[in-house]
Chains A and B, each alone.
Chain A
Amino acid sequence: MIDIAIEKELLFSSGKGQLQIAFQLEQQQFLTLYGASGAGKTSILRILAGLLTPDTGRIIIDGITWLDTANKINVPPQKRNVGFLFQDYALFPNMTVQENLTFALQKGQEKNPIKDLIELMDLGALQNRKPTTLSGGQQQRVALARALIQQPKLLLLDEPLSALDVAMRNKLQAYLLQIHQTYQLTTILVSHDIPEILRTSEEVIVIEQGKIIERGTPSDIFQKETSFILKGTIQALRKEAQSVKLTLLVGKEIIEMSVETATANNLLVGNIISVEVLHPIIRKYS
């Protein structure tokens, strides 16, 4: 089980503030930290990995103390054995795919999982290539394999798929789920891609300005009583007697709707908005 309670002064998007986080997580869970950019999500991952030291707090993983500022315990990142996936992949450009994986092996590591991981992540054909010659998706697969070489029990994913296109994301999400199950990992993902969270995660923690504001299953957090959400770009705003006629481009469809004048006040043509439909009226035609 992960038990974390930390505090650190950070620079948020709105200015200086306090990151104040405390939560527990059972083994083999897939948790997502969700929130706007600059809310402190990545800092939590970095603190867990030992790359950032909080001002005060403690981290206990399966009964082992990684951090306890009161007793001056701070296990260095080298000794924590976590898998960490960076947004920019962080593959070593001077090494081939194979060398990147071999580099990750620990001295005297008993089991060499390179062969299994190459097979699992479909890296066979890429082994002798340098990272700069690979696509984003291929690089992230190598990075994922490399993060698992030391067989960590905790996998930290810092928006690993945000730089990839939708098709590649879907593919990589499948890989993530597969390795999460195969290696019985506890996985913490930082993401603000709702479909990705719905697909991968069992739990979501919503973070705002360094504080946890909500925790629940993805469907609890995102679906609530809303039946569906339309996301689109405003094409036109036309004032009428009592309301404003809003023309919205959703996908390739043009949708028109009337909204209250007060609601339309801060909207401009070109804005991307979402419309939540609470009680859709459904008629059956055939």
Chain B
Amino acid sequence: MPLVLPPTVLGFYLLLVFSPNSTLGAWLNEYLGIRMVFSFAGLVLGSMIYSLPFMVQPIQSGFAKLSPSLREAAYVLGKSKWITFRKVLLPNIKPALLTGIVLAFAHTIGEFGVVLMIGGNIPGKTRVASIAIYDEVESMNYAAANHYSLILFALTFLILLSVYLINGGYLKTSLLKSPNND
């Protein structure tokens, strides 16, 4: 659902759910001392809810690509579901795992709607890069907006490059090694 829901809509509902006037928000505030609205914690939680599906999908397809006989072989060798998952399945979907993590991260640093709704735009507290860029453009301060944008641009480019290098290297080692003859 968060995959197709407009971010502002998601942010708006999170704002309602966590507001100190709601039951959950009041309970969190009173008993745990956590304030989710207009705070960094709330902003992180909102981003997680919004970005998690972007991580789940590549990981799911990574699992789907694994041969079912790997899992079955581990079971027949007496290994529990948890050991099979941790020692066999998870290590063999490393590229998908990395892609998922990076996609979710890249998606989060560019997030606007959800974080603006739940975090507001409090300097030094909940003002994130993408909102800062918007702010600078609003006040016609193009130089600063350009500055921020370039940093984000370089950062995302570097992330993407490292994913391709790592995953590319991984694929090369597993695919290009020619089988030897007996």
Q: Do B75 and A51 touch (CB < 8 A)?
A: yes
Give Cα distance in the complex from A92 to B175, angstroms: 15
Chain A residue nearest to B69 (CB atoms) is A90
Q: Does B146 belong to the interface (CB within 8 Å)?
A: no
Q: Do B182 and A103 touch (CB < 8 A)?
A: no
Q: Does A221 belong to the interface (CB within 8 Å)?
A: no
Flag A11-43 by CB within 8 Å of B: 1 or 0 each. Answer: 000000000000000000000000000000000
Q: Do B78 and A90 touch (CB < 8 A)?
A: no
Q: Do A84 and B78 touch (CB < 8 A)?
A: no
Q: Do B78 and A138 touch (CB < 8 A)?
A: no
Q: Does A133 belong to the interface (CB within 8 Å)?
A: yes
Partner of A77 from B76, B92, B177 at Cβ < 8 Å? B76
Give Cα distance in the complex from A87 to B179, angstroms: 17
Q: Does A79 belong to the interface (CB within 8 Å)?
A: yes
Q: Do A92 and B88 touch (CB < 8 A)?
A: yes
Q: Do A135 and B180 touch (CB < 8 A)?
A: yes
Q: Do A135 and B80 touch (CB < 8 A)?
A: no
- For window 10-33 of B, CB contacts with A under 8 Å fall at none
Q: Do B76 and A82 touch (CB < 8 A)?
A: yes
Report if A146-B177 is in contact (Cβ < 8 Å); known contacts: A77-B72, A92-B92, A94-B91: no
Q: Does B67 belong to the interface (CB within 8 Å)?
A: yes
Scoring B78, B180, B181 by chain A CB atoms within 10 A of each residue's CB, the highest score goes to B78
Q: Does B159 belong to the interface (CB within 8 Å)?
A: no
Residues from chain A with Cβ under 8 Å of B177 in the complex: 132-133
Report if A90-B180 is in contact (Cβ < 8 Å); known contacts: A77-B75, A78-B80, A150-B78: no
Residues from chain A with Cβ under 8 Å of B182 in the complex: 135, 137-138, 168, 171
Chain B residue nearest to A86 (CB atoms) is B69
- For window 106-151 of B, CB contacts with A under 8 Å fall at none
Residues from chain B with Cβ under 8 Å of A76 in the complex: 75
Q: Do A90 and B70 touch (CB < 8 A)?
A: yes
Q: Do B72 and A78 touch (CB < 8 A)?
A: no
Flag A25-69 by CB within 8 Å of B: 1 or 0 each. Answer: 000000000000000000000000111000000000000000000
Q: Do B180 and A138 touch (CB < 8 A)?
A: yes
Residues from chain B with Cβ under 8 Å of A78 in the complex: 75-76, 78-80
Residues from chain B with Cβ under 8 Å of A49 in the complex: 72, 76
Residues from chain A with Cβ under 8 Å of B77 in the complex: 103-104, 146, 149-150
- For window 135-169 of A, CB contacts with B under 8 Å fall at 135-138, 146-147, 149-150, 168
Chain A residue nearest to B173 (CB atoms) is A132
Report if A51-B87 is in contact (Cβ < 8 Å); known contacts: A90-B67, A93-B92, A135-B181: no
CB distance from B182 to the nearest CB of A (A): 5
CB distance from B179 to the nearest CB of A (A): 4
Residues from chain B with Cβ under 8 Å of A86 in the complex: 69, 72-73
Q: Do A135 and B67 touch (CB < 8 A)?
A: no
- For window 31-74 of B, CB contacts with A under 8 Å fall at 67, 69-70, 72-74
Scoring B72, B77, B175, B181 by chain A CB atoms within 10 A of each residue's CB, the highest score goes to B77
- For window 69-91 of A, CB contacts with B under 8 Å fall at 76-84, 86-88, 90
Q: Do B73 and A90 touch (CB < 8 A)?
A: yes
Partner of A84 from B73, B88, B91, B173 at Cβ < 8 Å? B73
Q: Do A90 and B174 touch (CB < 8 A)?
A: no
Chain A residue nearest to B90 (CB atoms) is A94
Residues from chain A with Cβ under 8 Å of B92 in the complex: 92-94
Chain B residue nearest to A149 (CB atoms) is B77
Q: Does A112 belong to the interface (CB within 8 Å)?
A: no
B residues adjacent to A (C-beta < 8 A): 67, 69-70, 72-80, 87-88, 91-92, 94, 173-175, 177, 179-182
A-B pairs with beta carbons under 8 Å apart, 8 shown: A49-B72, A78-B78, A84-B76, A86-B72, A90-B72, A94-B94, A133-B179, A149-B77
| New A-B pairs, 20, CB < 8 Å, besides A135-B179, A135-B180 | A49-B76, A50-B75, A51-B72, A51-B76, A77-B75, A78-B75, A83-B76, A84-B72, A84-B73, A88-B69, A90-B69, A92-B70, A92-B73, A92-B88, A103-B74, A103-B87, A104-B77, A132-B175, A134-B179, A134-B180
